[in-house]
């Protein structure tokens, strides 16, 4: 409907411009100078009205998109809450990651390296969308999600991505089933603190073994302390707090220590 109205406004503007040009070229005849001036004034007003009509359409379109985004956000929050109520230890969060947090997580992905980007626990796809907006092709994304409902939603929203309905903590098995493609980065929305420390350490060790040396394992958390404090052969760093997220969160970055011999090679 909006596109039709916009095209109608453009057609009106083109038609009026042509009529005005024709009037300007028409020779004056006797005393019609005043009539011609009135015609030109009227046509200029109509042309200005056509321009206003066209320019007014775009804000309406943007407002509708904003409202649609808000609606989708509310629906996603309801989905998260329902899944959390059904199994809080699996879902972990009660709402999708906020836009600022999602973009911060996507920022740390090293897409310039070859291989797939593995996302653990993508939920409704807030971080996935941030990855696409950053320029990562959907075909490079491997989304491992435990909830069948979320998997169905992810396949609908990101048809180019590989969506796996399975246990993200069994990363080695899942990637083996996919043929062990090279991994450029792992980005995680898993509730790591709901799992025992040995299980967290095992997940990080598996990810670092599967990724190229020094590639990042990106994990967000609401906690004051890192999900894994000390891990042999790995370092970690943290981002600023994203206070706009509810609740506030930050990003932890884990990397395998790269030995000098590997760098020289």
Residue keyed to tokens 């075909």: 139
pLDDT at 235 over 90: yes
Distance CA 143, CA 163 (A): 5
Average pLDDT score over the chain:
79
* Mean pLDDT of the 175-189 span: 97
Contacts 24+ apart (CB under 8 A), 58-67: 60/2, 61/2, 64/2
pLDDT at 205 over 90: yes
pLDDT at 145: 95
* Mean pLDDT of the 43-60 span: 58
Confidence class for position 11, pLDDT limits 50, 70, 90: low
Q: What is the tens place of the pLDDT at every residue in 62-76?
A: 656 555 655 566 555
Give CA angle at 106 (85, 209), nearest 5°.
90
Contact present, 190 and 121 (Cβ < 8 Å)? yes
Contact present, 168 and 90 (Cβ < 8 Å)? no
Residues 6+ positions from 107 with CB-CB distance below 8 Å:
134
Between the alpha carbon of residue 146 and those of residues 88, 122, 170, 175, 252, the distances in Å are: 12, 9, 11, 15, 22
Half-sphere exposure of 169 (CA within 13 A, CB side): 14
pLDDT at 190 over 80: yes
- Residue 20, Cβ neighbours under 10 Å: how many? 16
Helices (H) and strands (E) in the chain, counts: 9, 7
Contact present, 45 and 7 (Cβ < 8 Å)? no
Residues 6+ positions from 73 with CB-CB distance below 8 Å:
96
Distance CA 26, CA 42 (A): 17
pLDDT at 84: 47
């Amino acid at each position: 409907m909006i596109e039709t109205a916009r095209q109608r406004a453009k057609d009106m503007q083109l038609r009026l411009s042509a009529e005005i040009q024709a009037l300007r070229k028409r020779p004056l005849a006797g005393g019609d100078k005043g009539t011609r001036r009135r015609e030109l004034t009227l046509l200029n007003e109509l042309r200005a009205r056509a321009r206003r009509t066209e320019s007014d359409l775009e804000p309406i379109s943007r407002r509708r998109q904003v409202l649609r985004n808000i609606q989708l956000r509310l629906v996603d929050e309801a989905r998260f809450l329902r899944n959390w109520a059904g199994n809080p230890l699996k879902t972990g969060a009660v709402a999708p990651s906020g836009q600022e947090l999602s973009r911060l997580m996507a920022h740390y992905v090293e897409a310039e390296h070859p291989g797939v980007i593995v996302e653990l626990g993508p939920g409704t796809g807030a971080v996935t969308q941030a990855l696409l907006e950053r320029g990562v092709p959907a075909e490079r994304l491997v989304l491992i999600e435990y909830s069948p409902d979320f998997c169905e939603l992810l396949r609908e929203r990101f048809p180019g991505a590989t969506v796996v309905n399975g246990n993200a903590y069994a990363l080695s098995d899942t990637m083996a089933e996919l043929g062990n493609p090279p991994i450029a980065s792992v980005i995680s929305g898993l509730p790591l603190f709901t799992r025992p420390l040995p299980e967290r350490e095992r997940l990080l060790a598996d990810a670092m073994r599967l990724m190229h040396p020094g590639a990042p394992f990106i994990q967000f958390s609401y906690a004051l302390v890192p999900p894994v404090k000390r891990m042999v052969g790995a370092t970690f760093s943290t981002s600023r707090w994203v206070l706009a997220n509810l609740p506030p969160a930050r990003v932890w970055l884990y990397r395998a220590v790269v030995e000098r011999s590997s760098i020289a090679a």
